[in-house]
Structure 1
Amino acid sequence: MKVEQLTPPLVVHGEGPAWSPRWSGIRWLDMLEGDVLELMPSGSVRRRHVGPVASLIAPRRGGGTMLATGTEVLVSDSDDLDAALDPIASLVDSPACRLNEGGCAPDGSLYIGSMAFDGASGRGSLWRIGADHTPVTAIDPVTVSNGIAWSPDGSTAYYADTPTDRVDMFSWTPDDGLSDRRPFASVGGPDGLCVDAEGGVWVARYGAGAVHRYAPDGALTAIIRVPAPFTTSVAFVGPDLRQLVVTTSRLEPQAGELGGALFAVDPGVAGVALTEFAG
Structure 2
Amino acid sequence: MRHLRARPCSPDPGRLCEGPLWDPAVQELLWVDITAGLVHRGSLVPFADGSGLPDLLPRVTLAPGGPVGAVLPSRSGALIATVSTSVVRIDDSGRCEEFASLPLFPDGVRRRFHGAACDPHGRLLAAAMPSDTTEGAGSLYQLGPDGLRVLLDSVTLSHGLGWSPDGSLMYYADGATGRVDVFDYDVATGTPGGRRPFASIDGGAPDGLTVDRDGSVWVAVRGAGQVRAFAPDGTCHTVVHVGTSHVSGVVFAGPALDTLVITTATEGLTRQQLDEERHAGRLFVCRPGTAGLPAVPFDDLVPQETA
Same fold (TM over 0.5): yes
Structure 1 pair 111–65 and aligned structure 2 pair: CA distance change class (3 A): same
The count of corresponding residues between Structure 1 and Structure 2 is 275
Q: Distance in 1 between matches of 2:170 and 2:207?
A: 15
CA 205–196 in structure 1, closer or farther in 2 if over 3 Å, else same: same
Q: Residue in 1 aligned with 2:115?
A: 101
Distance 2:79 2:112 in 1: 20
Q: Is the 8 A contact 2:62 2:94 kept in 1?
A: no
Aligned residue number for residue 80 of structure 2: 66
1:1-279 equivalence runs, <5 A: 1-23=4-26, 25-40=28-43, 43-76=57-90, 78=91, 80=92, 82-91=93-102, 93=104, 96-130=110-144, 132=145, 134-173=147-186, 174-175=188-189, 177-188=191-202, 189-252=205-268, 253=270, 254-255=273-274, 256-279=277-300
The verdict on how the C-alpha distance between 1:64 and 1:95 changes in structure 2, with shifts beyond 3 A counting, is same
Residue by residue over 1:50-105, the C-alpha shift from the partner in whole angstroms, topping out at 9 and shown as x without a partner, is 122001111102422211111111124x5x4x343211100164672211112111
Q: Which moved more, 1:93-102 or 1:221-230?
A: 93-102
Check conservation: 2:171, 2:183, Cα contact below 8 A.
Answer: yes
Measured at CA, do residues 45 and 260 of structure 1 come closer, stay the same or move farther in structure 2, by a change above 3 Å?
Answer: farther
Give the partner amino acid of 2:34.
M
**1:278 CA displacement:** 1.0
Question: SS of 2:193's equivalent?
Answer: strand
Instruction: Assess if the C-alpha contact under 8 Å between 1:248 and 1:259 holds in 2.
Output: yes
Note the C-alpha offset of 1:235.
0.8
Distance 1:176 1:15 in 2: 25
Segments of 5+ residues of structure 1 without an aligned counterpart are none
Residues 44/74 of structure 1: CA separation in 2 closer, same or farther (3 Å cut): closer
CA RMSD of aligned residues (A): 1.7
The match for 2:48 is none
Q: Deviations over 1:26-53 (max 9, x none)?
A: 1111101110112245724432111220
Task: State TM-score, norm by structure 2.
Answer: 0.85
Q: Supply the distance in 1 between the matched residues of 2:193 and 2:24 (Cα, whole angstroms).
A: 32
Runs (5+) with no aligned partner, structure 2: 46-56, 301-307
Q: Distance in 2 between matches of 1:163 and 1:6?
A: 30
Q: Helix, strand or coil for the counterpart of 1:19?
A: strand
SS of equivalent residue, structure 2 residue 28: coil
* AA aligned opposite 1:249: A
The farther-off stretch of 95-104 and 268-277 is 95-104
- Determine which structure has more spread, i.e. the larger CA radius of gyration: 2
Moved more, 83-92 or 25-34: 83-92
Q: 1:3 to 1:157 in 2, by over 3 A?
A: same
SS at match of 2:159: strand
Tell me how far apart the structure 1 counterparts of residues 77 and 58 of structure 2 sit (CA, whole Å). Answer: 24
**Could you tell me how far apart the structure 2 residues matched to 1:9 and 1:261 are?**
6
Displacement, 1:238?
1.1
Moved more, 237-246 or 113-122: 113-122
Q: Secondary structure at the match of 1:36?
A: strand
Q: Once the two structures are aligned, what percentage of the paired residues are identical?
A: 35
Answer whether contact 2:40 2:58 (CA < 8 A) is retained: no
C-alpha displacement of 1:266: 0.6
Worse-matched range after superposition: 172-181 or 158-167: 172-181
